[in-house]
Structure formats: structure tokens, C-alpha cells
Amino acid sequence: MAVAPPSYCFVAFPPRTKDGLVVFGKNSARPREEVQEVVYFAAAAHDPGSKVECTYIAIDQVPKTHAIMLSRPAWLWGSEMGANEHGVCIANEAITTREPASETEALLGMDLVRLGLERGATAKEALDVIVSLLEEHGQGGNYYEDGSSCYAFQSAFLIVDRAEAWVLETVGKYWAAEKITEGVKCICNQLSLTTKIDVEHPELRSYAETQGWWTGDTEFNFSEVFSLAEDHLGCCSGQESLEKQEGNITVQTMMDVLRDRASGVCVDSETFLTTASIVSVLPQNPSSPCIHYFTGTPDPSRSIFKPFIFVDDVKLVPKVQSPFLGDDDPVKKKPRFQERPDRRHELYKAHERARSVTENDQDKGQKLMRIMLDLERQGLEAMEDILTSTEVLDPAEVVDLFYDCVDTEIK
């Protein structure tokens, strides 16, 4: 059975956080050479009866989809993590369970992230979208751009808005979810739900009984029932770091946790690397804008978080988008993944050049990192001014915000 990549997702609520903000973050651990792009899709209306082509299968489209900003492996349709115009953020985790994941092509967990963002205006709406599509179409197929073998996983999701979060964990078409409205929550590449389940698949428990995983005589503990052996004992050292910041968790705190190599939250192993990261700030005051910070490049300890705010006519950022290959893409052809095209975007290549400099000249590398972190700090301070301002945000001020940050970073 494939080893799930050790990604980490977090959410923290007031009063653990400062200034009435909900703070969300994720490190996306993926195969080392995989490129992630950051891509915006505007809200759209769709013709009745139209279909949407997901990574492997086509499903019915809905009449209207929300504007979304995604950080995604450049070869697939879905997303590892992202946000929509209504302040909903979703991240997913690949997990292994007693139920082997299906290699048959269906929806990927990452497709469900995007579908939840496109169709859900609240965290609960996104949850309902994901579970209904999961039951209708199932999940399955290769999680990696690899023609030599299939790596299939079950999925877990952290779904967050300004008011609440949902932890959704799945086993095939079966699922359970817990509502979170306070404190700090972390999910990783293991099941985490135990006995507190707020909603679930109607046949979840009877399915566990028919498989011989639960007798019905004991309290139903989701992780114990569906996990492999002792694979449910908690995995989140980053949660402890956040919990120590009682009442003081900020966007900077979340970024620091995501950059922490010692805790294992920032992954850099022979197999896996944190290929991209996101932090989002969701004010509980609905008149304040949500702000989403994307790296778009590997390893947050040597990348910087750049802010994005949803407004109309956002300026697109080709420099963080991978080359579009259309029908010639090896993911579109069967058998799939017979070639590995160069999916590096301009910012990714700039980071590769910078990394070769830092490895060969430590002083130069440290100076470069100081300049980049100063750029990040300027962005954080500007966003702080927006959040604390009593004036209504002028969309014209931020329409090219992310574009300008990426451009300056490359320079």
C-alpha cells in the first residue's frame, strides 16, 4: 500500500487568535519534483446540461460556479488547497485506511477540493457538495503523475469559513465529519475523528459492522474502526506550537509553524517535499476582506507568502502558471503519464536559480533570503492596514496585488 505524503493542515479560532480572525494554513507535501501552480478562475455561468472535465472523469456542471484561487499540482484539474470569493478555504489530505483506495479512475480528493470551492458559499455547503459528489461518483485513480504505478488514497478535508470549520474524513463513499468552532485543529495524513461525529453517511456504521471492523457493542470511534493498526494516534506536533500561543495566533504564527522543519511540518525527505503552502486570514467581521497568502514554490522556509484578495477583474498572473498543453498533455492520453513534460513556471525557475546561488554562496544566499522576507513583511504590514482600516476597501487598490508581489519576487 502506498505511503501517504505527510501534509499538514491547521485552523485556529478566536480567542486563540488575535483580533477576531480565523487563521487557516496548509503545507502540501507531494513528490519532490512535482510543480504546483497558483491559478485564479473567475465566477462563471454555465449552460444547462453542460459537463465539467475533472482530472479523470466528466460530471454534470452546475448553473453557476464561484470565483476561486487554487494552489494545485500543475498536471491535474483539482487542487491541493485554495479559497473562494465567499471566504471558504479547503485543503485535503491523502490517507490510507483499512479499506484499500480504488485505482479505478473517478474523482480525486483534489478534484473534490475544487468542486467544493466552486459550488459552496459556506463551509457546510462545501461539505454537502463534496459528500454528495463522493456518493454519486466515488473517488479513485492515480494521485501522482506516474505512468509506472498507481498511487491511490482515501481523502480527508479541512473546510473552513469565517464562522466554523469541518473536518471531513472518507473511506470509499463512506464518510464522517466533525464541526469545529473554537480552539486549534490540525489534520494530517491519518484519520483523526474519534467519537465526536456531527454528521455521517447513513450507512457508515452498518458498513463497518459488515466488514467485521466494529461489533456495535462498543462506542463507535471512527479512527479506531477504519485506521490501519496503530495509525490513528495523532500526528500533529504543529498543533502544540499553535496551542502555546494562547490568544496570540496571527498570520505570522501560522507561517512560522509551516516553516518549522524540526517538527516535521515542513517536509524535505528523499521522497517528499513541501511543494507549496497557503495561509488564509478570515475575519469574523463580514465587512473585512479575507486575505489569502500563497507561496507557489517549494519549501516555505525558502519561499515567501504573497497576499491575494478576491475582487472583480483580478489581474491574472501567468508567471505562477505552468505551460498549458491542452489535449497533448500526457495526463489526457491513455495510457496516461507516458511522458513527463516540463511544467515549471517562471517563478519556480527563478527559485531554482536562487537555490543554486544559495547553495554555492552562503553569504549571498542569506542576503537574498533577508531581502525576500523583507518583501513578505511589507506585504503583511500592508494587509494589516487593510484589516484594521475603518474604510471600505477600494478594489482598484488590490486588483493587481498578487501580480505585483510575484513580479517583485522574481526581480
Q: Any residues with CB less than 8 A from the CB of 106 and at least 6 apart, and which? A: 56, 57, 137, 138, 139, 140, 141
Cα(245)–Cα(251) distance, integer angstroms:
12
Q: Any residues with CB less than 8 A from the CB of 404 and at least 6 apart, and which? A: none
Q: Is 9 part of the annotated catalytic residue set?
A: yes
DSSP string, 297-321: SS-GGGS--EEE---TTPPP-GGGS
Cα(275)–Cα(10) distance, integer angstroms:
17
Bond into 15 cis (ω within 30) = yes
3-state helix, strand, coil in the chain (%, to 5): 30, 25, 45
Indicate the residue type of 359.
E
Cα(239)–Cα(186) distance, integer angstroms:
6
Residue 126 contacts residue 159 (beta carbons within 8 Å): yes
Cα(226)–Cα(134) distance, integer angstroms:
18
Do the bridges between strand 44-45 and strand 64-65 make them parallel or antiparallel, or are there none, so unpaired?
Answer: antiparallel
CA 327-35-279 angle, 5° bins? 120
Bond into 330 cis (ω within 30) = no
Cα(177)–Cα(197) distance, integer angstroms:
6
Query: Which three three-digit cell numbers place residue 2?
Result: 502506498
Integer Rg of the chain from CA: 20
Cα(66)–Cα(137) distance, integer angstroms:
22
Cα(328)–Cα(373) distance, integer angstroms:
39
Query: Which three three-digit cell numbers place residue 139?
Result: 473517488
First to last CA, the chain: 44
Show which residues are catalytic.
9
